[in-house]
Amino acid sequence: MDAGQEAQPEELGTPEDDLRSLEEDLRSGKTENVSADLGLPGAHQGKRRILMASGRVCIAKPASGIQDWPFAAQSEAAAWTVARRLGLRELVPVTVVREIELPEGRTELAALQLWVDDYDADRMDEFPEEDLDWAGVFDHLIQQTDRDGHNWLVWRDEHGRPRLKLTDNGYAFGAPNRTFSSQFSRDRSGRPLNDKMLAALRRLKEPEFAEELKELLHHDQVEALLGRVDILLDRQQLP
């Protein structure tokens, strides 16, 4: 489990324009402070704590942090792009890709995610069924390979209810020498997709979505994702 990755819940329920503004701050806003290597556990090495001039606190995951998958940073941002398009603003951390100036005097491409300290890691709770259903669909779409027993957070909404946050989406979209692995997708296998889910999946077929995703992923990765969307729309249930 990579610590410190949960997006701030109050930011994730905002209107689309505010959400885009938040992304723009992460993508091009001024950084006030970049920490040394935090030494946090998990597959992604070299993580840094970032304080933005806006006051937002983020975690940066450098592209070099995963040696066997050079597109891990782009995969993190692409996973958020998919989640945003589906309307899953509270399920996945807001993430962009940008160059970070490190205190050592060099710059590095990294996935930048919002960070909040108040969460529990890798613990199952009484999550809403909708969270669990969407987790299964989302992990299938991105072909997550690293979500069995870890890589999620528990946060609480304004009513104190436990909610699910899916983190660590770097090993997705065809990471080599890895197989699809998500306990949420496995537990939801065969579950019918409701009308809300089908409507959200149709939004992934809009041309502007593919163009946005192609800024992060290769053409064949995008086409493979869209193929999975077509299959879900056709079968109307999770494989």
pLDDT in tens for each of the 239 residues of the chain? 444 443 333 343 444 667 889 999 999 999 999 999 998 877 788 999 999 999 999 999 999 889 899 999 999 999 999 999 999 999 999 999 999 999 989 999 999 999 866 788 889 999 999 999 999 999 999 999 999 999 999 999 999 999 999 999 999 999 999 999 999 999 999 999 999 999 999 999 999 999 999 999 999 999 999 999 999 999 999 99
Indicate if 61 and 131 belong to the same structural domain.
no
Indicate if 155 and 177 belong to the same structural domain.
yes
Does residue 195 lie within any of the structural domains? Answer: yes
Buried b / exposed e along 24-42 (16+ C-beta atoms within 10 A): ebbeebebeebeeebebeb
Nearest to 170 by CA among 238, 116, 113, 99: 113
Indicate if 90 and 137 belong to the same structural domain.
no
Residue 10 has a pLDDT of 38
Residue 4 has a pLDDT of 40
Does residue 68 lie within any of the structural domains? Answer: yes
Indicate if 142 and 196 belong to the same structural domain.
yes
Does residue 148 lie within any of the structural domains? Answer: yes
Does residue 4 lie within any of the structural domains? Answer: no
Indicate if 68 and 84 belong to the same structural domain.
yes
Does residue 80 lie within any of the structural domains? Answer: yes
Q: Which of 87, 114, 141 is the last residue of a domain?
A: 114
Q: Which of 91, 114, 137 is the last residue of a domain?
A: 114
Residue 39 has a pLDDT of 87
Indicate if 220 and 127 belong to the same structural domain.
yes
CB neighbourhood size of 83 (10 A): 24
Q: What is the CATH number of the domain that holds 76?
A: 3.30.200
> What one-letter code names the amino acid at 139?
D
Q: Which domain holds residue 23?
A: 9-114
The CA distance from 152 to 1, in Å, is 7
Does residue 1 lie within any of the structural domains? Answer: no
209-214's contacts with Cβ under 8 Å and 24+ in sequence apart are: 209/81, 209/85, 212/81, 213/78, 213/81, 213/82
Indicate if 29 and 80 belong to the same structural domain.
yes
Indicate if 54 and 101 belong to the same structural domain.
yes
Q: Which of 72, 87, 114 is the last residue of a domain?
A: 114
Does residue 82 lie within any of the structural domains? Answer: yes
Q: What is the DSSP letter of 188?
A: T
Q: In total, how many domains does the chain have?
A: 2
Element (H, E) at 233: helix 219-235
3-state secondary structure at position 117: coil
Does residue 156 lie within any of the structural domains? Answer: yes
